[in-house]
Structures are given as structure tokens and as C-alpha cells.
Chain A
Amino acid sequence: MTHFVDRRLNPKGKSLGNRQRFLRRARNQIREAVQKSLKDSSVADLAKDRKIKISTKGTKEPRFRLDPKSAGERDFVLPGNKEFSTGDEIKKPRSGDGAGRGKDAADSGESEDDFEFTMTQDEILDIFFEDLALPNLVRTTLKETPNKTWRRAGITTSGSPNQINLIRTMRHAQGRRLALRRPKLEDVKALEAALDLAEREDPPALEKIAALKEQLAKANAKRKWVGFIDPVDVRFNAFTEQPVPTSQAVMFCLMDVSGSMGEREKDLAKRFYMLLHLFLKRRYKKVDVVFIRHTHDAQEVDEQEFFYSRQSGGTIVSTALDKMLEIQKARYATADWNIYAAQASDGYTQTGDARHCVELLNGEIMPLVQYYAYIEILDEREMEVFASEDSGAELWRAYRTVAELWSNFATKRIARPADIFPVFHELFKKTEAG
């Protein structure tokens, strides 16, 4: 006797435990690979599945095996002879030759030096957050999918009993009863009374009785097949899932790209922007990103330019602020857009420009924006020198005065990836309250 078993509906993800074990095992290699792949990807790309290539260091599975290349002798058989006859000699392919590589690679066992697989968005974020020292609560909030609500969506003919719409149902039932001329209870009672009367008459009016009896039977039969309420009458309230309406936000990324900003500084800044983008992405359905770079002059550029090109020239921070205002006025009206700005710099600006910046911020920018974050990227040594919040270069000291006036203005010095998160602390607290 054969059994056919349909297993298709069995729970999936049986190997999830193994996958987690594997990811933990290859943690170091994976982290390297993720960081590298993040470096090459754009700010808005963070929250996507992606392919990761890791080396198999740490996940090797060694077995004893023979190495006939180094010593000894052997015989082996191959198919597909076209030209050889006994006694012929065939040159051995040198290792590294293209020909017969498949077999050679398998022979030497180094075929799995690189290992490629796909990681999900959640797994990538986990690794990304690891360096940034995010509290757990933040991680879960960031990884959460956007909220949905249930909204009324009219009336349907199917649903669960607790969603039954009584008024509609009864109205339909009544309409049907009228249309099909279902005899009312009173009519039947009246007929019965008439019959009763007729039966008591003396002499009995036989024809009348028979007629009444027939009418009564008909009426009862009809009442039976035209039910008081019928499945076709039943109506249910319908609900559908709808995403919570969210508005749109624009994120201005401002960065000093003069010679003093090196690879390391830009990389830190990029992580900062990525994280901010992620935060905004969770709160707003549509997030625009505007990149403004500046030296002594500011320009709006695309992402590639922003992170990878260098310019020479002095440093005038206020030009970037001017540019931002100009773009905001042209394209992002405050009525429609939530405005966020993030500025990264190494803290140097032309003497006297800092005051101009403060004026711009206090007078025009801060009233417009939801949040303005300024990060100053230092190296570790400078971090020690400027241990106190109060000491610092001109721009830093100037921005401190702005921070005292506006609660949604944050300043922070960072030298390592782990320093980035605290900048978001304030912002995040607000997110929770909202």
C-alpha cells in the first residue's frame, strides 16, 4: 500500500538554525565583506537583500585526502579518446592553465576559496549595526516594517460571523421576502381564523373549507421555501489593510570636500548618512536625498561625485548653507516636506565665516528644519585633545551656541563608527514620542 503525502504545506525554514550557525561561524569574513559592499553601494541601498562573497577561511571543512601531484604514481581512466594509442605521452597541463581547470580545481581542493551567497536585508542590517553600537530597541524599531491599519472597505458577502452587518442583512432579507411575496404571519393567522369559522358553520360550507385549506397549505409551503432569512441575505463589514499614511521628507547631506577630508573621513560621513537615511526611511514613505558639497563654493552633485571626487580650494561652510536654502525654496516647500539636514566637516572654515553660518542657521534654517545634525570628524588624537565639549575650532564653538538655542540641533564629534549613533539619540527619542 502506497502513501502519498503532501508535504508542501509543512512549515518552511527548517534550515534556519543551520543558517544562523553558519553566519555566526563566518562572522568575521562576512563582516568584512558587508563593509566592503556597503562602501561600494549608495546611501539609499542599505535596506536591500544583496549578494555577499566571502573567503572560506574559518568555514573550511578539511578531510584527509591524497595528493598524487606531489609524489607517487597512479593509474586513471578517462572517457572520450579520440587520438591516443597505447604508449603515447601526453604533456601534463601546468597548474593554472585554463584547460581542464574544473578538474584541477577539484583536485587541489582550493575550489572553494571564495564563497558567494545572498544575505537578507535583516542580516545585513545586523552586521551594519554591530559596529555602530546601537541599542537593541533601536535595531528592532529600524527593522520593523511600516505600520498598517485596518480600514473599512464596504460590504461583502463573505466574512466571519462577528463582522456581520445586521442592518444590511435584515434589509436584504426583507427585500427578498417582499419580492417573492412571502405570506406574512398575520395572513396565515387570518386564514386559520377564517377556516375555523367556516368549519363551525352549520351546515358546513364544504367548498369554502376545501378552498381555505388549500390556501392555507399553499401559504405554509411558501413560507417554508421562502425563508425569513436566507444565506444570500447575509452581509459582512469588510476591512482592508492600509499603510499608515506617511508624508515625505527630504534629507540634505552637506559635506566639506576640500583636501583635508580624506577617505576615512568620507567613509565615516557616509555611514552617518546611511543611518540617517534609514531612520527617515522608516518614518516617511518618500525620502529625497540632496547632496551638496562645498569648498569655497557649493554645488549640488550626485552621490558618486559627492563621495568619490575631490576638489581643491578653501573652505567656506556658509556657501553650502546658502545652496541648501536655495534648493529648499525652489523644490521643497515646508508645507509638503519634512526637512532634515546633516552636515559633516572636519571643523575648518575660513575665519569669520562661522559667524555668518550661525546667523544663517538661527535666522533662516532652523525654523525650517525638523532636525539638523552637525558631525565633526576628527582623528583619534584630536579626539583626545578636544576632550571637553567646550574647546574646539571656530566652527565647533560657533555651532555650540546654536545648539543651546535649538533643541533640534545636534552637534557631535566622531572618530570611530561607534561614535555615530549617539548623534541620533535625540532624534530617536522624538520618533518614539511621535
Chain B
Amino acid sequence: MGNFLFDGSEWDFATLDRTYAAIEEIALRDMGLDVYPNQIEIISSEQMLDAYSSLAMPLMYNHWSFGKLFAREETMYRAGYSALAYEIVINSSPCISYLLEENTMTMQALVMAHAAFGHNHFFKNNYLFRQWTNAEGILDYLAFAKRYIAACEERYGREEMEAVLDAAHALMDQGVFRYRRPPRPSKERVLEKHRKRAAYEEEAYSELWRTLPAGIEPPAAPLTPDPDDDSGPDMKLPEENLLYFLEKNSPTLRPWQRETLRIVRNLAQYFYPQRQLKVMNEGCATFVHYQIMNRLYDRGLIGEGALLEAMHSHTSVVFQPGFDDKRYYGINPYALGYAMMDDIRRVCEAPTEEDRDWFPAIAGSGDAMAALKDAWANYRDESFIEQFLSPKVMRDFRMFSLFDKADDGVYHVAGIHDERGYRKVRSALARQYDTAGDPNIQVVGADLKGNRTLRLEHRMNRGVPLHNATKEHVLTHIELLWGHDVRLEEVAV
């Protein structure tokens, strides 16, 4: 007593400040983390629901699908089926973390360690985030997107805008550059372009247009050539980014519709690394909060009660039910990520013979933080699992791998957690986390001089086709954007 940072569960801003300072001291000095400046915001449960339903971003344009998400979450929450997240953290600089006001002081400390240092370090250092997302610009860009879409909605009608957004959302998974760096004009350039268009429309405006019968439109502004637009007038095919292709080449879209596609595409690209880094991102944050809470206790800064509360929450976060359990809902990224990272620490500090065989580079090195920081910076889920999933973790999870052929009545157990199966299970799991597992759809041709049919190809991985009903549904969306027939072929590779 007396020296603790806090007693009991009530919190106030002075306590938060004091605790934050202690956590920061450990995170930066002891663990050597490297983070964006932090901004921590306290929000109410309703605001948390708001944030949920806009893809966890502080601002977002309006669309009915977010309303649907909110209605669903709210009903679940009110009925007590699901608890709210304790925090939401945004990959931006400064890094914004939202804390729920209902958290106890211990939970606030845990959550600050988890979000403001764990996730934050990962955002700042992982190569995918560094390369693909612009943490400084995202909030400004979203503000622009919200304004732009609201303005277009007002100008061209809500239904029109909704149709474009619906179609664009359907293609979000196919709206990313997987390997090539996306051409990214600055926000100023986007605004500049928009201004130019508006100016042109103003200039070209004539009273005469108003006398046209309904349905005929005055000519739209010509597309201003985009200097960093690498597709040019002749398209480069095949193209994996459908949204990008449609934005640049669709024969029917009007300028504001193209701009809308670009906004959705940029958003998809922003979220793309998060999809490839679920296990690592959560694992990193969980590892960091576990370490920090324990070190706070070791230094006598928090009491046993607080530590136990934190550990109780920690264990429920990393709980992994077996596949035949009612509660099973896939592999828990928190559980897998944390287990692997804690295992790396073990291998560095107290390796067994088996570890020396499997991980000669780090076994017994004694410097766990160095090994972890290297992993956090240079891997994504797939390569991280391929590289670091150890036999011990596979045994702890009792993993096994199944081989499934569609016309077979049975699954075949291809490997289990034994000497013969380790490598098989490991690479099967790694491939499961590879986003190349998403349908690989490419634009292969567009007959611009003839009947303007757009040809798409689904390159099947091991003969797995697309789900038929949703395929038809998405194709109607593509047809809307393309304006002419669209054909999709399934091709075996």
C-alpha cells in the first residue's frame, strides 16, 4: 500500500496520467519499444458502438452498411450477447487509442499497455504498415472522403451514390495492389484535381443545357491526365486490382464516380496490411501488455489484486477452444500470436535440445527482445508462422492438419503434432494465413473497340471455384460500374 499507482477500480485523469508515465517508462526504457506519439481518448459505450460501425475509424463517409452493422452490434450488446471491446486503436500518427469509460483502472492500465504501446510499436515498425499505409495522412484523407461523398450525394442523389458505393464495397477485396506499390497522389493533388473539375464545369456551364429534355446530360468534364497514373491510355493487363482498373478504364463512369472508386480503393489498401497481420499484431500487443503488467507488479507499482484482475482478463483473451468445442470459431489470433511470441522468448532464454535443432539462430541467444523486434518488423502472419511456429506450440495447441477433397466423403488427417507432422502442419497453417488464399481474380481483357465486353479470370488454386450465388451477385455490381457485359471464367492454373 501507499506506493501503488492506484487502489481499487475507480479511475480519474490524474491516476491515468501517473500510470501512463510508469508504463511508458517500462515500455521505452526496459523493453526498448519505438512508438508514434500517443493520444488517448476516453469514450462512452455508445461512442464505442459508433466507432465499431464505421470500421473502427474516427470518421467515415455515410453508407447504409455501417448503419446495419451498428443496429446489429447494438442489439447484441443490449441483449448481453457480446461485450464491447475494451479499446480501439487507430494506425495513425499520433496513434489514437480509445478507452471505454466503464473500464476499471486496472483495465485502463492493461489497455494502455496493449494499445498505446503494443499495437503502436507494431504499427510503426512492421514493414507492411511502413510500406503501405500512410499513418500521417489517413485522418486527413478520411475527412476529405467524407466531405467529398457527402457533396456528391447532395449533388447527384443519394441513390446514385449508394449504387456506386455498393458496387465498390463488393469489390473491396479485389481492390488492392498485392505486390506492386500503389501510385499514391497526395491529398493536395486530389483536391487540386477536384477543384479543376469544378472550375471546368462552371466554365462549361450554359443556360442552354437546362432546356435539354430530362435524361440527356451535358458533356462531363474531360478526365484530366494524371501524371503519376501509370496505366496510361493503353491498359496494362492482366490487372489484379479491379477497382483500380474500373476507375481508370470504365467507359461509362462519370468523374465523381471514378473518384468514389478511388476513395474505396484507397481505404481497402489501407486495411490490407491489417488483414495480413492479424496474428502478429494482436500477438505483439498481448505480449507487450503481459510483460508490462508483470513488470509493474515486480516494481511494486500495482498490487496483487490488480495483477490478478489483469491476468484474468489476459487468460480469457488468449483462450483457445478446441475444434469440437461449441465455442470454437477458428483459431484465436490473440492465442496463437501470444503463444508464439512467448515461445520465442522461451527459446532465447531457456532452449531445449529440440529448439536448438529448429531455431539455431536464436536459441539461447539470451536477448528475447531483439529476436522479437526483428520478427515484428520483418514478417507477416504467413512468413512468421512458417519461420517461428515451434513444435512446442503445435503440441500445446494439439494442432492437426486435414486434407479435404470436395467430392470425397471424408477428411484425411494429413499430419498431427508429431515428428513426422510438424513441418506439414506448419506450412499448411502458414498457407491458411496467406492472403493469396483470397480468390485470385484478374482482368484479362476489355474489348474497347468492339462490344466492350470485360473479361475476368478466376485463377483457381487447387481447383477450388468461386461460390456461385455470390459470384453472380458481385458480377451485377461490376456490370454496373463497367456499363457493359462482364464475363468471368474459371481457369485452372
Contacts and interface: CB of A to CB of B under 8 A. Distances in A.
Asked if A and B are interacting partners, one says yes
A179 interface: no
A76 interface: yes
A73 B464 contact: yes
Most buried by A among B24, B94, B406, B425: B406
A109 interface: yes
B38 A77 contact: no
Interface string B427-463: 0110110000101010000000000000000101111
Interface stretch (B66-74, B123-131, B183-191, B376-384): B66-74
Interface stretch (B198-206, B392-400, B479-487): B392-400
B418 interface: yes
Given A2-B39, A103-B329, A82 B67 contact: no
Given A21-B64, A72-B463, A81-B398, A12 B47 contact: yes
Given A62-B170, A109-B470, A18 B63 contact: yes
Given A7-B41, A63-B470, A92 B328 contact: no
A429 interface: no
Contacts of B437: 66
Given A90-B410, A118-B75, A67 B465 contact: yes
B47 A103 contact: no
B467 interface: yes
A86 B406 contact: no
Contact of B462 (A1, A59, A64, A72): A72
B328 A90 contact: no
Nearest to A101: B326
Contacts of B458: 64
Contacts of A79: 320, 322-323, 331, 397-399
Contact of B78 (A22, A76, A118): A118
Interface in B319-340: 320-326, 328-331
Contacts of B387: none
Interface in A385-410: none
Contact of B402 (A2, A85, A90): A90
Interface string A164-205: 000000000000000000000000000000000000000000
A141 interface: no
A124 B232 CA distance: 53
B68 A22 contact: yes
A19 B71 contact: yes
A4 B67 contact: no
B70 A78 contact: no
A115 interface: yes
B173 interface: yes
B421 interface: yes
A15 interface: yes
A14 B66 CA distance: 11
A117 B75 contact: yes
Given A15-B50, A62-B474, A75 B64 contact: no
A42 interface: no
Given A14-B50, A76-B432, A84 B403 contact: no
Nearest to A78: B323
B53 A87 contact: no
Contacts of A66: 437, 439, 461, 464-467
A24 interface: yes
Contact of B425 (A4, A19, A77, A109): A77
Nearest to A8: B44
Nearest to B428: A75
Contact of B174 (A23, A64, A82, A103): A64
A116 B73 CA distance: 10
Most buried by A among B116, B323, B403: B323
Given A60-B473, A77-B399, A81-B400, A8 B414 contact: no
B53 A15 contact: yes
Interface string A109-133: 1000001111000000000000000
B334 to A, nearest CB: 13
Contacts of A153: none
A88 B62 contact: no
Given A64-B471, A66-B464, A115-B68, A81 B399 contact: yes
Contacts of B173: 63-64
A412 B251 CA distance: 58
B330 A103 contact: yes
Interface stretch (B12-20, B132-140, B220-228, B363-371): B12-20
B43 interface: yes
A15 B54 contact: yes
Contacts of B400: 77-78, 81, 84
A91 B415 CA distance: 17
A91 B315 CA distance: 33
A152 interface: no
Interface string B347-375: 00000000000000000000000000000
A68 B460 CA distance: 11
B46 interface: yes
Contacts of A23: 67
B172 A63 contact: yes
Contacts of B420: 86
A80 interface: yes
Contact of B467 (A22, A67, A85): A67
A15 B70 contact: yes
Most buried by B among A62, A85, A100: A62
B169 interface: yes
B322 A82 contact: yes
A86 B41 contact: no
Interface string B27-38: 000000000011
Contacts of A331: none
A84 to B, nearest CB: 5
13 contacts: A5-B39, A15-B50, A21-B162, A22-B67, A62-B170, A63-B173, A64-B174, A65-B470, A71-B407, A82-B322, A84-B413, A88-B412, A92-B410
Interface of A: 1-8, 10, 12, 14-15, 17-26, 51, 59-82, 84-92, 99-100, 102-103, 106, 109, 115-118
Interface of B: 13, 16-17, 20, 24, 37-44, 46-47, 49-50, 53-54, 62-68, 70-72, 74-75, 78, 94, 98, 101, 116, 158, 162, 166, 169-170, 172-174, 320-326, 328-331, 397-418, 420-421, 425, 428-429, 431-432, 437, 439, 441, 458, 460-468, 470-471, 473-474, 477
